[in-house]
Amino acid sequence: MASVDMTHPDPDSVPVRDAATVVVVRQGDAGIQVCMLQRNLQSDFVGGAYVFPGGAVDPGDDDPLYRDLLVDAESIGSGPGGDDLRFRVAAARESFEEAGILFARSTSGGTVALSDPSLASRFHQHRLDVDSGRRQLFEICVEEHLSLELSSMSYLSRWVTPRGAHRRYDTRFFVAEAPVGQEALHDDKEVIDTIWISPEDALEDSRSGRRTMIFPTVRTMALLNQFDEVTQLLEYMSTIDEVPTIEPVMTVVEDRLELELPGDPEGVGGRYDALSGDPLSAS
């Protein structure tokens, strides 16, 4: 598992940027599958790690025009605290930019199926335009007569990068079922590989070192591993009425890096191995 460089000489000088990520899931023959993207090896933040689609919130994600494009505007912001529209927009935009997955419907109610070659080609150009900043996602929606289906994203968790890191993010995690008729495909820029993997296999790959994953990813996979079906997971998500802010604290214990989660939100003692992400015994 990747470790974050915790050597910044002045931790209080590092700004905390708002960010959002979406855990895209689908039902496989053997259970839940999760979309993961491998970050470019040359990236200066967790390069090579397998992550969920996501990134920093952009100023344009806060444009009031987005609310006019929502399938179910009334439900946005009515959930657990911290569930702000701009985070959902950022998660949807990053999902489109990095993985080509668009959480939207036509204004007539139909799904956005990108299996048609001509449609896929057009939306590929839209994806490039949004990624480059030439256009905003809402402009694509207006042109293509789409409504954003952001209420399909369930607010799961909120993670803050530990103090001491050279980059810090306050990240909202969402969970959403993959849209019908769309295939995830990495952009070959920020991300260089796409996989669909079960939570169990992802955890094993992280422990063995086969795939690099950061701590919030590992703990999210551990949660998903408790469910056999997407319907069970989404039903659980509907029961969440409070999402605490989780800010790990990095410590060194007998030459081993540990992470402590204040308040022990997972009920396992609150201490974890920083490399594997596994809980440590309370002893």
Report if pTM > 0.85: yes
Residue 5 has pLDDT above 50, yes or no: no
The number of C-alpha atoms within 13 Å of 18 and in the hemisphere containing its C-beta is: 15
pLDDT at 8: 53
What average pLDDT is seen over the chain?
88
pLDDT at 1: 38
CATH topology of domain 11-245: Nucleoside Triphosphate Pyrophosphohydrolase (3.90.79)
Confidence grade of residue 146 (pLDDT, cut at 50, 70, 90): very high
Average pLDDT estimate for 6-17: 73
pLDDT at 83: 63
Residue 149 has pLDDT above 50, yes or no: yes
pLDDT single digits (tens) 17-51? 999 999 999 999 999 999 999 999 888 778 899 99
Average pLDDT estimate for 47-69: 94
What sign has the CA pseudo-torsion 78, 55, 120, 64?
Answer: positive
Residue 237 has pLDDT above 50, yes or no: yes
Residue 266 has pLDDT above 80, yes or no: no
Burial class (CB in 10 A: 0-12, 13-18, 19+), 13: exposed
Residue 283 has pLDDT above 70, yes or no: no
Confidence grade of residue 274 (pLDDT, cut at 50, 70, 90): confident
Q: Is 41 within 8 Å of 48 (Cβ atoms)? A: yes
Q: What is the three-state SS of the chain?
A: CCCCCCCCCCHHHCCEEEEEEEEEEEEECCEEEEEEEEECCCCCCCCCCEECCEEECCHHHHCHHHHHHECCHHHCCCCCCCCCHHHHHHHHHHHHHHHCCCCEEECCCCECCCCCHHHHHHHHHHHHHHHHCCCCHHHHHHHHCEEECHHHCEEEEEEECCCCCCCEEEEEEEEEECCCCCCCCCCCCCEEEEEEECHHHHHHHHHHCCCCCCHHHHHHHHHHCCCCCHHHHHHHHCCCCCCCEECCEEEEECCEEEEECCCCCCCCCCEEECCCCCECCCC
The residues pairing with 155 across neighbouring beta strands, listed in sequence order, are 174
The number of C-alpha atoms within 13 Å of 12 and in the hemisphere containing its C-beta is: 0
Using CA atoms, how far apart are residues 183 and 173, in angstroms rounded to an integer? 21
Residue 77 has pLDDT above 70, yes or no: no
Q: What is the residue extent of each domain of the chain?
A: 11-245, 248-283
In this structure, of 70-79, 136-145, 173-182, 240-249, the range with the lowest mean pLDDT score is 70-79
Residue 78 has pLDDT above 60, yes or no: no
Using CA atoms, how far apart are residues 130 and 162, in angstroms rounded to an integer? 30
Residue that is written with structure tokens 């910044």 in the block = 8
Residue that is written with structure tokens 């002045």 in the block = 10
Could you report how far apart the first and last alpha carbons of the chain are, in Å? 24
Q: Is 22 within 8 Å of 176 (Cβ atoms)? A: yes
CB environment 224-260: b (16+ within 10 A), e (fewer): bbebeebeebbeebeeeeebeebbbebeeeeeeebbb
Tell me which of 278 and 175 has the higher pLDDT: 175
Residue 7 has pLDDT above 80, yes or no: no
Using CA atoms, how far apart are residues 182 and 102, in angstroms rounded to an integer? 8
